[in-house]
Amino acid sequence: MDTNRLSEKMLAALNSQVTKEAHAAQIYISYASWANDQGYDGIANFLFRHAQEERNHMMKILEYILQRGAKPKIEAIPAPDADPANVNDCFEKVYKQEIDNTRAIYNIVNLSMEEKDWATWNFMQWFVKEQVEEETLAMNLLDKIKVAGGKDAKSDALYMLDKDLEGAPDDAKLAQDVTATNP
């Protein structure tokens, strides 16, 4: 008996998002390896930790596909892009990566609306919220490198930035979670 509750198109879209989240994890470990090699251990630590979050996103979608009675197809993960040219470039690439991922998430939400697949629509709202967090996190990185001098940041500013990111949380607080007593 066929238990699949996802349309063929939705299954393909969710499958491709599984691969995309795995790709994001590869991108983060690639940038983290670059940062470590450049001597930025704090930035590397931050990016390695974030790669794990991307893997969690991948698993969340994979489990949802299974829950809906369908079978995920595990596909090859594309290679990450070339190494960043500098820390500024690294953080700009992280930002672009997150915007691109948000676009992909929105496409699945659009499809769920078209298909009136409310279970998937509801499931995807977690990712809509998560992408606000991911974009905020990426914007915070851009703010930090901007204060440090952008692409012309001097080594002492980069040293401080690296130390700052060593223990910085790899997720961001959202506006909707902020209160007067917990700003």
Give residues 115-134 in contact with ligand FEO (rule: CB under 6 A).
134
Binding status of residue 98 toward ligand FEO by CB under 6 A? yes
**From the list 13, 21, 42, 161, which residue makes contact with ligand FEO (rule: CB under 6 A)?**
21
Binding status of residue 30 toward ligand FEO by CB under 6 A? no
Rounded-to-5 percentages of helix, strand, coil across the chain: 75, 0, 25
Binding status of residue 101 toward ligand FEO by CB under 6 A? yes
Binding status of residue 19 toward ligand FEO by CB under 6 A? no
User: Helix 87-115 crosses helix 8-37 at what angle (to 10 degrees)?
Assistant: 170
Binding status of residue 6 toward ligand FEO by CB under 6 A? no
**From the list 45, 54, 62, 162, which residue makes contact with ligand FEO (rule: CB under 6 A)?**
54
**Tokens encoding 173:** 């607080």
Binding status of residue 24 toward ligand FEO by CB under 6 A? yes
The three-state secondary structure class of 38 is coil
Dist CA 32 CA 30 (whole Å): 5
**From the list 40, 47, 57, 111, which residue makes contact with ligand FEO (rule: CB under 6 A)?**
57
Question: 63-101: b or e for each residue (b if 16 or more CB lie within 10 Å)?
Answer: ebbeebebebeeeebeebeeebeebbebbbbbbebbeeb
Binding site for ligand FEO (CB under 6 A): 21, 24, 54, 57, 98, 101, 134
